[in-house]
Amino acid sequence: MSKYTEDDLREELKTKEYEYGFYTDIESDKFPNGVNEDIVRAISKKKNEPEWMTEWRLEAFRVWEKMEEPEWANVHYKKPNFQDISYYSAPKKKPKLNSLDEVDPEMLATFEKLGISLLEQKRLANVAIDIVMDSVSVATTFKETLAEKGIIFMPISEAIQEHPELVRKYIGSVVPTTDNFYAALNSAVFSDGSFCYIPKGVRCPMELSTYFRINESGTGQFERTLVVADKGSYVSYLEGCTAPQRDENQLHAAVVELIALDDAEIKYSTVQNWFPGDAEGKGGVFNFVTKRGLCETNAKISWTQVETGSAVTWKYPSCILKGNNSVGEFYSIAVTNNFQQADTGTKMIHLGKNTKSTIISKGISAGKSQNSYRGLVQIGSRAENARNFSQCDSLLMGNECGAHTFPYIETKNKSAQIEHEATTSKIGEDQLFYCNQRGIDTEKAIALIVNGFSKEVLNKLPMEFAVEAQKLLEISLEGSVG
């Protein structure tokens, strides 16, 4: 029969090239490999940082040196040699641009390939983009519109120069330099990232967006993002990633800190599509990220993530619900295929009274991948009437992948109400035949089923992101049924 069989599908999937696997040839200013105090100082100097920042980095470095790489996650990989990584890489032709015409044409071509042409983006309006290409921001748009409202949205390196008091007050306040191995390393060597401040009572009129990209062979990326929403303000922040194909593993250890002051709300959405490695599990990005938000009284933080890329993902966007009546949300879709491994989830730390948290996690595993949800719901002794609802659903494709759930619950207050629901399902032959019979081929059927499965989370994404995310899910899983 000429039927498109599972084997054909599997074969096609293996040969499916990473869609964004290309490399832009832009001259880079690169440090020698390795990290020590001199390198940390050099990075700080390169950035023309004030003394306090240099000291902060050095402190982090000294802590990091004594730390061990964590091994508790349900992932297995060859540990990176941290002395074999270049800790600074910036495009040499760093332009100060007034218009797009001044942007390096090669860089524009890269954006075109990614489907995020600035021209397009500018016309689309409503999305201000701070593009990070190899650690240094090269273009910032819509700054003026934002400035009118007093909103600060700029590369963190610039913010350190222009708003040192804000950066100094908040950096490391949610993720301290001592927090964990990767966060400490990031604190020591971060090259750039984004800074965002929304003043009191201001509702940010547009979605703020940052596109990260790894672009230099053997260069790790250590992004640092700091978002501060002052009292009664609101901001929706979008982060999207895609990386070019590389043979050796690339390390990505970002830190994102969110601070929502009284009555403020932050929505932070991520679509992560780093190179996942090839069909044999070779190459791919190691994504070891620390993301955490702090909620003061009546504040709310929502994390929404669509994780389709990376060879190894280690990521737990968390909320510290410090203020009374504060709300934390975590909506996640994690897709793993081939040899990908993901250990992702969240921590909801309830400290204040009447705090509420919601966790919706959708794990989709295909190929020989391993997909783990790891979550902690912690209710402190003073957190009267804290409530949590968690739902963890796993969808399996084929017989060689794994789905795991590690929910931890710790409560020190008897008034807490905690609910946890979990399901595991498999895409069945019967479902596929039913779709086929209605004229829908197997590939499209899988996309349909997966999108249905992920719907509750996709619905939480801003419109323009939801479409992109849906496409990503399709690309990531094309023909992965077994």
Partner 1 sequence: MLKIENLHAQIEDKSILKGLNLEVKAGEIHAIMGPNGAGKSTLASVIAGKEEYEMTAGSMELNGEDISELAPEERAHAGVFLSFQYPVEIPGVTVTNFVKTSINESRKAQGLEDMPAKEMLQKIREKSELLEIDRKFLSRSLNEGFSGGEKKRNEIFQMAMLEPKLAILDETDSGLDIDALRIVSNGVNKLKSKDNAVIVITHYQRLLNYITPDFVHVLHDGKIVKTGDASLALELEAKGYDWIKEEVNG
Which residues are at the interface with partner 1 (CB under 8 A)? 1-4, 428-431, 433-442, 444, 448-449, 451-456
Of 33 and 431, nearer to partner 1 (C-beta) is: 431
Task: Kindly state the smallest distance separating residue 442's Cβ from partner 1, in Å.
Answer: 8
Task: Kindly state the smallest distance separating residue 334's Cβ from partner 1, in Å.
Answer: 17
Q: Which residues contact 278 (CB under 8 A, 6 or more apart)?
A: 18, 284, 338
User: What region, left, alpha or beta, does residue 385 occupy, with left being phi > 0 and alpha being psi -120 to 50 degrees?
Assistant: left
Of 99 and 437, nearer to partner 1 (C-beta) is: 437
Of 62 and 426, nearer to partner 1 (C-beta) is: 426
Q: Which has the closest alpha carbon to 262: 215, 217, 229?
A: 229
Joined tokens for residue 190: 């971060």
Of 260 and 458, nearer to partner 1 (C-beta) is: 458
Contact between 309 and 242 under an 8 Å Cβ cutoff? The reply is: yes
Task: Kindly state the smallest distance separating residue 467's Cβ from partner 1, in Å.
Answer: 15
Query: What dihedral do alpha carbons 154, 157, 161, 167 form, nearest 10°?
Result: 80
Other CB atoms within 10 Å distance of the CB of residue 70: 11
Q: Please, what is the angle between helix 51-65 and helix 37-46, to 10°?
A: 150
Task: Kindly state the smallest distance separating residue 470's Cβ from partner 1, in Å.
Answer: 12
Nearest-angstrom CA–CA distance, 365 and 403 = 7
For 75, 284, 304, the CA distances from 370, given in Å and listed in that order, are 8, 15, 21
Q: Which residues contact 403 (CB under 8 A, 6 or more apart)?
A: 363, 365, 371, 372, 394, 395, 396, 424
Q: Which has the closest alpha carbon to 132: 192, 83, 42?
A: 192
Of 417 and 423, nearer to partner 1 (C-beta) is: 423
CA atoms within 13 A on the CB side of 62: 7
Task: Kindly state the smallest distance separating residue 425's Cβ from partner 1, in Å.
Answer: 8
Of 358 and 431, nearer to partner 1 (C-beta) is: 431
Which three-class secondary structure state does DSSP give residue 160?
helix
Task: Kindly state the smallest distance separating residue 429's Cβ from partner 1, in Å.
Answer: 8
Of 5 and 48, nearer to partner 1 (C-beta) is: 5
Task: Kindly state the smallest distance separating residue 437's Cβ from partner 1, in Å.
Answer: 5
Of 81 and 425, nearer to partner 1 (C-beta) is: 425
Task: Kindly state the smallest distance separating residue 451's Cβ from partner 1, in Å.
Answer: 7
